Amino acid sequence: MSLAVLRSRALAGMSAPPVTVEVHLANGLPAFTIVGLPEAEVKEARDRVRAALQNARFEFPARRITVNLAPADLPKESGRFDLPIALGILAASEQIPADRLDDHEYAGELSLSGQLLPIRGALAMTCAIQREHQDHGQPRSFILPAANADEAALLPEAHILPARSLLEVCSHFSTRDPAARLQRHPPRSAVDVPTYPDFSDIKGQLQARRAMEVAAAGQHSILLVGPPGAGKSMLATRFPGILPPMTLEEALESAAVQSLSGSVDMDRWRQRPYRAPHHTASAVALVGGGSAPRPGEISLAHHGVLFLDEIAEYPRSVLDVLRQPMESGHIVISRAARQARFPARFQLIAAMNPCPCGLHGDPQGRCRCTPEVVKRYQARLSGPLLDRIDMQIHVSALSPAELASQQPGESSAAIAKRVAHAFERQWQRQGKPNSQLGGSQIDRYCQHDDAAAQLLQAAMLRLNWSARAYHRVLKLARTIADLADAQHILQTHVAEAVQYRRMLGGY
């Protein structure tokens, strides 16, 4: 036999399209050629595979070797094709039996000694294999490095066969002893209990705590504005602890995105992501990109929290790239050779000082910033971006009496219970959080009485709201009504929602 065909996977954004690895041995001068639009990492597989086969005591064929990675128009990157290429050479040269290779898919990078090294995107590839199995009824086992087994086994139905070396994989196909074959990795069944800092650590700040509860209940974005040391960062770091628990589907989606960057934390995979990039982050770091597109911070925060501290210190051009993902819940990265789509359903929590010195509005008059300086500082956040942030509230500095108080604040567990109840009402009513309601859904689910309608109209006229701001306040009022267990939006709910729409210009 001089031809062997195996199956593997590439990565294109969140999808993992199938790749057929064809290995052909022909007579002629010894050569090793890889075709099929391989990038540098794939081309380097020639040297890794040759050394791995020789160090594993296999014979490297002194023939003309051609490896085709089909389809030819799909770019191939990373070292995940090392394992199927090596197995294809062994099968084509009849050093291992080829009759059972078709029942599996393969991915793994080889070291020079033949050990299997971890790869990126193992969970994304596993999800693609399972979807193909559900659609076409073609069950296949997935052979991959042992270091990626826990990650891939997060999908309960997946048939994962972890291996530590090329020799283990070859033994799996060569031996007749079932005990010597690769064993299926058990699905990960334990559910880790999320641990977050507790809201009871925060003293005072009743209005800010209430605003965070409303934001968590409806998954609304929020901007915290206040002087240094007022507790903005403390509120943000405790915010994930009051969010509703992640469903299995949400946890798998979030972990699949993280697997593309090779950073899945198996001990925290059921916890909502919390990403807090520094204000020196570039636009590519924030939304993703690169010649081979990878997810950015907004995608790594999928189904979790993106905290932008000192948001006014970010370049305005960087912040404005958030506008489209905040509306759509995904980001499409286009490059000359390829396009990638990543999910980005994150909850934005932002914090900033009201002015460069942070003391604008101080009752003791300690701020020395001129009105022009304050206006220029606050204008670093563009109007369209502010319009997309549901809640914009002021976090006041604590008084000495509040700091000295020994009375603990309300715990995260108590707040989370109310949030979960309100979220359950939303899910039963419309199947999604209030923040994701569209135009016709707002008319259907955000019904209000005449007094609430009059207050909304008066606020829109006086505050010069856009249509987007009007709808966001209405969705915010719907969340407040859900927390109050109310069937319809009342005037009091609208009044509270309007108070949370404090624009920077009127600070």
pLDDT band at 189 (very low <50, low <70, confident <90, very high): low
More confident residue, 231 or 142: 142
| Beta bridge pairs of residue 501 | 392
Q: How far is CA 278 from CA 175, 306, 314, 323, 490, in A?
A: 53, 11, 9, 19, 41
- Name residues whose C-beta falls within 8 Å of residue 401's C-beta, 6 or more positions apart in sequence: none
Evaluate if residue 179 carries a pLDDT over 90. Answer: no
User: With b meaning 16 or more CB within 10 Å and e meaning fewer, what string describes 95-108?
Assistant: bbebeebeebbbbb
Percent of the chain topping pLDDT 70: 96
pLDDT mean over 6-13: 92
Please give the residue that has the higher pLDDT: either 23 or 366.
23
CA–CA dist 455, 369 (Å, integer): 35
Q: Is the pLDDT of residue 145 over 70?
A: yes
Gap between the Cα atoms of 76 and 5, Å rounded: 17
Q: Would the pLDDT of 190 be above 60?
A: no
Q: What is the mean pLDDT of residues 248-261?
A: 90
Determine the average pLDDT of the residues in 343-371. Answer: 88
Mean local confidence (pLDDT), 156-182:
90
**Three-class SS of residue 394?**
strand
In the chain, domain spans: 3-180, 199-428
Percent of the chain with pLDDT over 90: 59
Indicate if the pLDDT at residue 478 is higher than 60: yes
Instruction: Express each pLDDT in 232-241 by its tens digit.
Output: 999 999 999 9
Instruction: Give which of 367, 346, 343, 49 is closest to 228, Cα–Cα.
Output: 367
Nearest-5° angle of CA 108, CA 114, CA 117?
35
Cis omega before residue 71 (within 30°)? yes
Please state, in angstroms and rounded to a whole number, the distance separating the CA atoms of residues 217 and 242: 9
Q: What is the C-alpha to C-alpha distance for residues 10 and 186, in angstroms, rounded to an integer? A: 25
Report the mean per-residue pLDDT for the chain.
89
pLDDT exceeds cutoff 70 at 485: yes
**Is residue 135 scored above 80 in pLDDT?**
no
**Residue 91 phi/psi, 5° resolution?**
-70, -40
Is residue 180 pLDDT above 90, yes or no? no
Structure token digits, residue 347? 């909850």
Given this model, what pLDDT does residue 449 score?
85
Is pLDDT above 70 for 333? yes
pLDDT at res. 194: 64
User: What is the model's pLDDT at position 506?
Assistant: 43
Contact 470, 453 (CB under 8 A): no
**Top-level CATH class of 199-428?**
alpha beta
Q: What is the band of 293 on the pLDDT scale with cuts at 50, 70, 90?
A: confident
Closest CA to 125 of 84, 96, 176: 84
Q: Is the pLDDT of residue 191 over 70?
A: no
- For residue 507, pLDDT beyond 90: no
Kindly tell me if the per-residue pLDDT of 427 is higher than 80: yes
**Rounded to whole angstroms, how far apart are CA atoms 44 and 206?**
59
Tokens 């193992």 locate to 122
Q: What would you report as the CA-atom Rg of the chain, rounded to the nearest whole angstrom?
A: 28
Nearest CA to 433 out of 476, 467, 401 is that of: 476
Can you list the positions of beta strands (E) in 303-432? Answer: 305-308, 330-334, 339-343, 347-352, 391-394
d(CA 357, CA 368): 8
Degrees (nearest 5) of the Cα angle 468, 470, 474?
115
Structural element, H or E, at residue 289 = strand 288-289
Region 87-108: what's the mean pLDDT? 93
Q: Which segment of 51-55, 477-481, 485-489 scores lowest on mean pLDDT?
A: 485-489
pTM over 0.85: yes
Assigned fold of 3-180: Ribosomal Protein S5; domain 2 (3.30.230)
Using one digit for the tens of pLDDT, what is the confidence trace for 377-422?
A: 998 898 889 989 999 999 988 877 777 776 777 899 999 999 999 9
Confidence of residue 32 (pLDDT cuts 50, 70, 90): very high
Q: Sign of the C-alpha dihedral, residues 272, 273, 278, 280? A: negative
Contact 206, 466 (CB under 8 A): no
Q: Is the pLDDT of residue 325 over 50?
A: yes
DSSP state of 187: P
Q: Are 393 and 351 in contact (CB under 8 A)?
A: no
